[in-house]
Amino acid sequence: DSGVTQTPKHLITATGQRVTLRCSPRSGDLSVYWYQQSLDQGLQFLIQYYNGEERAKGNILERFSAQQFPDLHSELNLSSLELGDSALYFCASSAGLGNTGELFFGEGSRLTVL
Amino acid sequence: AQSVTQPDIHITVSEGASLELRCNYSYGATPYLFWYVQSPGQGLQLLLKYFSGDTLVQGIKGFEAEFKRSQSSFNLRKPSVHWSDAAEYFCAVGDMEYGNKLVFGAGTILRVKS
């Protein structure tokens, strides 16, 4: 158990819909990262938050957004969903910016868009 | 930009045989390197990491990896594979200049035959 909790574990929805994925980091971790894992793209970094502020941005679509709340949990919002958004979305956390880079991953949220 | 190449998509080894998974990275400075393992339906678990010092690092589950700067490689090894090692293995390099995110390779799927 990594200590990172993601909900929901599975989600099935239709094209055009909007979903929210939730992540609770390990206790004390200030950084939260979102990754998308798909068969054709592999593990792609989406976005990182540190203590409530956006720190780094990767290949995140404009239809996607994220935030980190004062209690440090994070949400990833996916809107106007397309079939190609079907993937496993991972949240990871780490202690902070100055750490040695080790990330702790949740078990992921599997999104299926029909 | 940082990148990681895992040249082998699939590898099959016999139980009890030795294993080596290849990883090459591209990074301008001294890299932080990681190997993660993902079992089916699970999140990513850290096997080992290299930051500095001894170029041969030991990890969990009997795995080790050797950092070779001259070859830009960080290959993962195990002297005797167990059936429970069947999983997907990811090499990653830490982008310490941009938010501490990890850049992952495409992964190598390990199959163990009895």
The CA–CA distances, whole Å, from A33 to A71, A83, A113, B15, B69 equal 15, 23, 22, 36, 28
Residues β-bridged to residue A65: A77
How far is residue B52's CA from residue A100's CA, in Å, rounded to a whole number? 10
Chain A touched by B5 (CB under 8 Å): no
Instruction: Note whether B89 and B21 are within 8 A (CB).
Output: yes
The CA–CA distances, whole Å, from B20 to A12, B83, B108 equal 38, 15, 11
Q: Which among A25, A21, A20 has a CA at the least distance from the CA of A5?
A: A25
How far is residue B6's CA from residue B27's CA, in Å, rounded to a whole number? 15
Does the beta-carbon distance from B103 to A45 stay under 8 Å?
yes
Listed by number, the residues of chain A in 19-58 with a beta carbon closer than 8 Å to a beta carbon of chain B are 31, 33, 42-43, 45, 48, 50, 55-56, 58
Chain B touched by A70 (CB under 8 Å): no
How far is residue B6's CA from residue B73's CA, in Å, rounded to a whole number? 10
Taking only the tens place, the pLDDT of each residue in A32-77 is 999 999 988 889 999 999 999 998 898 899 999 999 999 999 999 9
Taking only the tens place, the pLDDT of each residue in B55-65 is 999 999 999 99
The nearest CA of chain A is from the CA of B71 a distance in Å of 22
φ, ψ for residue B85 (rounded to 5)? Answer: -80, -10
Higher pLDDT, B30 or A3: A3
Taking only the tens place, the pLDDT of each residue in B67-108 is 999 999 999 999 999 999 999 999 999 876 665 678 899 999
Most confidently modeled of A71-80, A100-109, B24-33?
A: A71-80
Contacts of A55 in chain B (CB under 8 A): 99
Q: Mean pLDDT for chain A?
A: 92
Listed by number, the residues of chain A in 1-20 with a beta carbon closer than 8 Å to a beta carbon of chain B are 2, 4
Please give the pLDDT value at position B29: 76
Does the beta-carbon distance from B98 to A56 stay under 8 Å?
yes
